[in-house]
Chain A
Amino acid sequence: MTRVAVALGLLFLTGCACGGPRGPAPSPAAQQAPEGTLPELEHIEVTLFFPAEDGTVLVPEKRQIVKTAEPVALAKQVLAELVAGPQTPGTVRALPESTVLRQIYLTPDGTAFADFGSELPAGLGGGSESELMAVYSIVNSLTTNVSGVTRVAILVGGQPAETLNGHLDLTRPLAPRQDLVRG
């Protein structure tokens, strides 16, 4: 526990060299080497949260991704899968296709700081519904899949953001909302 915390602390201080703007998320299939050249990659199941078509609730979607033991890498993969969009019929994307994750930091107190480019607020439209669904798809997906993460702070362009499009307070880390998830 302490060792992980120290490692994360170091990571927080030095920053992570593996982030930066990136294109659309590679699908699990694309990350696999052609058959026979490498040992088969291990996969894990993650649960992502996408808005239902009417925008009232988040619907869980289970998906296999390439296994990683490193929490920051896992958090990035989870967000990349969110940006890639849903596969479940009757659900819609929570984040604009153009969304860029600039960086993600995990702190020892269980807070994930997810720093997005300005494409996220710009692509969101003006309604509180799209803001609520985008924010809690991020918060619920990260806290559900990355062990130790209990709250998520959303930053834009490396800066604390008041809101994404004018409604939902982002000045402090948010805890997941089970009441927004379809049971």
Chain B
Amino acid sequence: MPVLALVALLPVLAQTPQAAAVDARVTVDTSGPTTRLVVTASRPVAWHVSAAPTGLEVLFDEPLRLDVSSVTLDDPMLRGWHLVSERRLQLQTGPAFTGQETFELRNPWRLVLDLQGRRPAGQTGSARVAPATVIVLDPGHGGVERGAVGPGGLQEKEVVLDLARRLQAVLQRSDPGLAVVLTRDEDRQVARDERTAIANQNRAELFVSLHLNSSPAKGAAGAETYFLSAEASDDQARTLAGVENEAARRGEVVAQPAAGGTGTLDLILWDLAQNQYLAESGRLAQAVQRELNELAGTKDRGVRQAPFTVLMGATMPAILVELGFVSNPAEEARLKDSAYRDRMVDALARAIQGFRQRIASLQ
């Protein structure tokens, strides 16, 4: 093993700093609370970030080759970037920029600069009425995607749409300044990343996905509330960034059947985005679960965590509520009952309102 490892390293050692330029690209994501600039390169490159008259400067140990060498942006934290020489990337920071966090990710290799600062609410410039606070409700499934179906034929996609509409009405009645947006307001299929994108684009304060469960197990009953598992964020990010990845160190390409170019890159960065909100998401999940137990009297299956794809890209507290087992005949019967639906909606509304008050009191 040691001999083979040395042999494998030789071609790497033989490379001189004057080797051919590294193919790279620069992307900027302004959808999150920070403005994120990502340099993706075909292999790892050593770098150094320092302050510069324009804002920031990244010096690379090897020359980079980019398709585009400069971009101008209209973002409060970042006005643009420019590759002034093959090894020098200049960032022109904006007036709202206060500091940055820099880290590397692997497979493919990426340098990530998170530019922090206060993003002005609404449009910049003239005084403007503060935009309405937005909450996004996400009725699961839809269209050809029926979701769970009960033994009596009750369909998850129909029940959760009805619950979302009822919850929308209750929330808006209690707070006229609140805009409650549904990811679908009809029986149609919506891609899971589109659902999260609707919440991100609206800069929603909360994202709540509504589902009904089903199980082959006859005994399965009750409600549970999920938030994203740390494994789907921390651990995966750590692994991707990991120095432990021997194959990557040897310069090998690790088999990644799921790798889809920028799609995978986006997904990984989006994971990191939800990572910032895991604690809040957990608190919101606790609040929802408690109110469901107390007000709706559902059997308590607790707060749980899972790598649910619809939660991954959310740049706000995000939860997925499983309101009951449509596969359980007794629960299916209850879920058909309009009064029971109202009780669940009241429980959800109370949890959301309580959570929002807590956030407001902290600000």
Contacts and interface: CB of A to CB of B under 8 A. Distances in A.
Contacts of B254: 107, 109
Contacts of B137: none
Contacts of A155: 257
Q: Considering residues B148, B156, B217, which has the most beta carbons from chain A within 10 angstroms of its beta carbon? A: B217
Tier of interface size on chain B: 35 or more
A55 interface: yes
A163 B309 contact: yes
B188 to A, nearest CB: 15
Nearest to A173: B258
Contacts of B231: 174-175, 177
B88 interface: no
B192 A127 contact: no
Q: Considering residues A128, A166, A171, which has the most beta carbons from chain B within 10 angstroms of its beta carbon? A: A128
A15 B220 CA distance: 40
Contacts of A55: 215, 217, 219-220
Q: Considering residues A1, A52, A171, which has the most beta carbons from chain B within 10 angstroms of its beta carbon? A: A171
Nearest to A6: B4
Interface in B282-312: 301, 306-310, 312
Interface residues of A, number: 39
A92 B141 contact: no
A174 B307 CA distance: 9
Interface in A111-128: 111, 113, 125-128
A53 to B, nearest CB: 4
A169 B140 contact: no
B143 to A, nearest CB: 12
Interface string A145-182: 00000000101000010110011111110110100000
Given A128-B308, A172-B258, A174-B307, A166 B141 contact: yes
B59 to A, nearest CB: 32
Q: Considering residues A51, A127, A160, which has the most beta carbons from chain B within 10 angstroms of its beta carbon? A: A127
19 contacts: A51-B217, A55-B220, A56-B301, A107-B254, A107-B255, A113-B257, A125-B327, A126-B146, A126-B156, A126-B214, A128-B306, A129-B325, A153-B258, A163-B309, A166-B141, A167-B320, A169-B308, A175-B235, A177-B229
Give the 8 A-B residue pairs with the shortest CB-CB distance, closest first: A127-B214, A126-B148, A169-B309, A55-B220, A127-B213, A53-B219, A55-B215, A171-B258
Interface of A: 1-2, 12, 51-56, 92-93, 107-109, 111, 113, 125-130, 132-133, 153, 155, 160, 162-163, 166-172, 174-175, 177
Interface of B: 1, 4, 140-141, 145-149, 156, 192, 211-221, 226, 229, 231-232, 235-236, 245-247, 254-255, 257-258, 260, 264, 267, 301, 306-310, 312, 320, 322, 325-327
